[in-house]
Amino acid sequence: MKQACCYFAVALCVIILGSQIYIINRLNTQTRFAPEVSTLPSPVSAVTPFVSLTQPTAASPSGGQEEQLILKRENPAACSFTDAAEFTLDTSYMITRIRTWYSWGQNEENTPYTIVRDDRTVASGTLTRKDCDPYQHQWCVAADYGFNKPLTAGTYVLKVPKAQICQNSMSGGKGMIYVWGK
């Protein structure tokens, strides 16, 4: 009887552990990732913030010729929604491209946006649906790859009509965004 009880306890532990592993793997495959992010961070990077925010350097102001990724805010956590993505430039740039991670409606292919600084619209355009998450097809890049406008140092907010931009607690409640420039 004792031996049967031990076997039952071991079997129960194996089932529970297997279920936890299955659930974790299932969540990893269902979690929304930006197209260039295909895996969760390694355990070593788990001690550093997941939010990746790169600021421009003084060595690459708007006079430079090569386009570069000026800043990005992203992480692999699940999203909730916002209608805004804030970003700060510490020097002037010719902004060439912008993109965000957006939950598109069925048959929706583009959405208007404005970029606001100090409650004043400084640019506007259309974000177009691009690369999508392979598992959650509504999550796709929303991009304007022909932006080409100069922006001076300061804080800007990209705004869209509907709260469909990804944000979460790991991003400090700020919308996910990438900005390229030269």
The residue assigned the tokens 């022909």 is 146
Q: What is the pLDDT of residues 9-30, one digit of tens each?
A: 545 444 554 444 444 344 333 3
| The two structure tokens encoding residue 88 | 């700060």
**Backbone phi, then psi, for 14, in 5-degree steps?**
-65, -45
| The two structure tokens encoding residue 29 | 């495959």
**What residue ranges define each of the domains in the chain, with the CATH number in brackets?**
43-181 (2.60.120)
By the 8 A CB rule, do 59 and 115 touch? no
- Looking at every residue in the chain, the average pLDDT score rounds to 76
Using CA atoms, how far apart are residues 143 and 85, in angstroms rounded to an integer? Answer: 13
Instruction: Name the least confident of 46-55, 65-74, 81-90.
Output: 46-55
